[in-house]
Amino acid sequence: MHVDAGGPRDAPVPAPDAGVSFVMPVLNEIDYLERAVRTVLDQDVPGPTELVLALGPSSDGTTELARRLAAGDDRIVLVDNPDADIPTGLNLAIAHSALPTIVRVDAHSELAPGYTTRALATLARVRAANVGGIMHADGRAPFQRAVARAYNSPFGLGGGAYHGGTREGAAESAYLGVMRRAVLDEIGGFDESLRRGEDWELNLRIRRAGYRVWFDPALAVTYWPRESWSRLARQFRATGAWRGELVRRYGRRNSLRFFAPPALVLAVAASVVVAVLQTTGVLSGIAGLVTSVVYLPVLAYVALIVTVAAGRGGGRGWRDRLWTLAVLPTMHLAWGSGFLVGALSGARDTVDTSRIGTRNTPLP
């Protein structure tokens, strides 16, 4: 997808010491929240800072932990997000914040030291409305490391800039994002009718309003992915469904890379149908031979999966590599099947249930 070099409008640049509001939606993050909060509060930012946590109805003790953290630091502000939807939580947090630059953070992520200072400098230098950097996924156990490897690979999530780009410049979207409040107010904040893909849609409206969205590879955020196969599948199916919804709404403004997983699903489905017809004798002889061409894309995909799993950076051992063989098709097929449903009939009330009512694997 072509990204313009930048809109004609410069975003406002507040005074260097005007301060920053961090906003974080939170749901069932008992094992990640404290570390995420610590990396935010440790940011060395000129001027005042605040961290607004939008608390969904957690069932694992996250809300109680958030209250203890807030009691120990007056920079932490709590706001209820009873519907648990991320865009709603972000809008609530922004509404309860007061400073001119908004930094979106995630309870499953950790900001690198100097992240905010660098982002503020980049925003001021290029007069962008939003700037983001690299999402560096990481993991502890073999499964989570395999998921992280897939996130960090161009083959895993399609090669978006924030999954490993190296060149600074105008971008289609921004991971998390450091944003000017004045621009958010102008365009109306996050779209609460979306449950996934809200960042991409917000950045589309920022660019439509004539402002710049910027990618700076010097910015880094550590992301801890899902810890189990079922939760990964549920997450990606919901994400795919909402991308399909965005295609329904915005059509060709979506990058072509989003259509690769649904194409894989259709190729697998066609292969299964042909295999059944060949096995039952409905397709035989020349017809059976000709229709065997449908296996080629699937075989090529399997060969690519095996190559990626066995290649460099395969993890710490054979279990990491075996999980990679399972993780990549899970991500692609779950996302692709969700996309087809969302594109054909809309995402409707599709919810990412991968963090509801479960306890995460503790981190050291």
CB of 215 closer than 8 Å to CB of 226: no
Q: Pairing state of beta strands 213-223 and 76-80?
A: unpaired
- Domain count of the fold of the chain: 2
Residues 149 and 74 in one domain: yes
Q: Is residue 55 part of a domain?
A: yes
Residues 52 and 91 in one domain: yes
Q: Are residues 136 and 92 in the same domain?
A: yes
With respect to residue 315, please indicate whether it lies within any of the assigned structural domains. Answer: yes
Indicate whether 241 belongs to any domain.
no
330, 268 contact by CB (below 8 A): no
* pLDDT, tens only, 187-226: 999 999 999 999 999 999 999 999 999 999 999 999 999 9
**What pLDDT was estimated at residue 313?**
59
Mean pLDDT of 300-319: 82
One domain for residues 87 and 205: yes
| CB of 25 closer than 8 Å to CB of 81 | yes
Token duo for residue 316 = 């710490």
pLDDT band at 56 (very low <50, low <70, confident <90, very high): very high
Q: What is the mean pLDDT of the chain?
A: 90
SS3 of 161, please? helix
**Are the C-beta atoms of residues 92 and 81 closer than 8 Å to each other?**
yes
**Domain assignment present for 296:** yes
309 SS3 class: helix
Closest CA to 173 of 198, 154, 136, 196: 198
User: Tens digits of per-residue pLDDT, 73-101?
Assistant: 999 999 999 989 999 999 999 999 999 99
User: How large a percentage of the chain has pLDDT more than 90?
Assistant: 75
DSSP 111: E
**In this structure, which long-range contacts are made by residues 38-43, counting pairs with CB atoms below 8 Å and at least 24 apart in sequence?**
39/110, 39/111, 39/112, 40/103, 40/105, 40/111, 41/73, 41/75, 41/76, 42/113, 43/111, 43/113, 43/114, 43/115, 43/116, 43/117
Q: Are 214 and 260 in the same domain?
A: no
Tens of pLDDT, residue by residue over 205-216, are: 999 999 999 999
* pLDDT score at 165: 64
Query: What CATH code is carried by the domain that includes residue 162?
Result: 3.90.550.10
Asked whether residue 131 is domain-assigned, the answer is: yes
Q: Identify the sign of the CA torsion 1, 13, 221, 175.
A: negative
Please check whether residue 104 lies inside any domain of the structure. Answer: yes
**pLDDT value, residue 161:** 56
Whether residue 335 lies inside any domain: the answer is yes
pLDDT at 164: 60
Element (H, E) at 24: strand 20-26
How far is residue 210's CA from residue 205's CA, in Å, rounded to a whole number? 9
pLDDT, greater one: 336 or 163: 336
Q: CA dihedral defined by 149, 55, 362, 356, rounded to 10 degrees? A: -70
Rg of the chain over all Cα atoms, to the nearest angstrom? 22
At residue 318, what is the residue type? W
**Is residue 353 over pLDDT 90?**
no
Together in a domain, 208 and 286: no
Please tell me whether residues 149 and 254 are part of one structural domain.
no
CB 225 within 8 A of CB 323: no
Q: How far is it, in rounded angstroms, from Cα 208 to Cα 225?
A: 31
What residues does 101 pair with on adjacent strands? Answer: 20, 180
Q: Are residues 254 and 221 in the same domain?
A: no
Identify whether residues 141 and 269 lie together within a single domain. no
**Same domain, yes or no: 256 and 187:** no
199/307 same-domain check: no
Domain residues for the domain of 220 are: 20-225
Residue 344: band (very low, low, confident or very high) from pLDDT cuts 50, 70, 90: very high
Q: Is 363 a member of any domain?
A: no
Q: Decide: residue 238, CB within 10 A, 0-12 exposed, 13-18 middle, 19+ buried.
A: buried
More confident residue, 40 or 288: 40
Q: Where are the alpha helices (DSSP H) in the chain?
A: 33-41, 62-72, 86-95, 115-126, 142-152, 154-157, 181-187, 198-208, 229-250, 260-279, 285-291, 295-310, 318-345
230-244, 273-287, 323-337: which has the minimum mean pLDDT? 273-287
Q: Are residues 32 and 180 in the same domain?
A: yes
| pLDDT value at residue 2 | 41
Output the 3-class SS for 195-212: CCCHHHHHHHHHHHCCCC
pLDDT at residue 364, as a whole number? 35
Q: Calculate the dihedral angle through the C-alpha atoms of 308, 312, 317, 320, rounding to the nearest 10 degrees.
A: -30
163 pLDDT band, cuts 50/70/90, is low
- Check if the beta carbon of residue 192 is closer than 8 Å to that of residue 87: yes
Q: Give the pLDDT confidence score for residue 361 in this predicted structure.
A: 40
Predicted pLDDT at 358: 46
CB atoms within 10 A of CB 296: 11
pLDDT of residue 64: 97
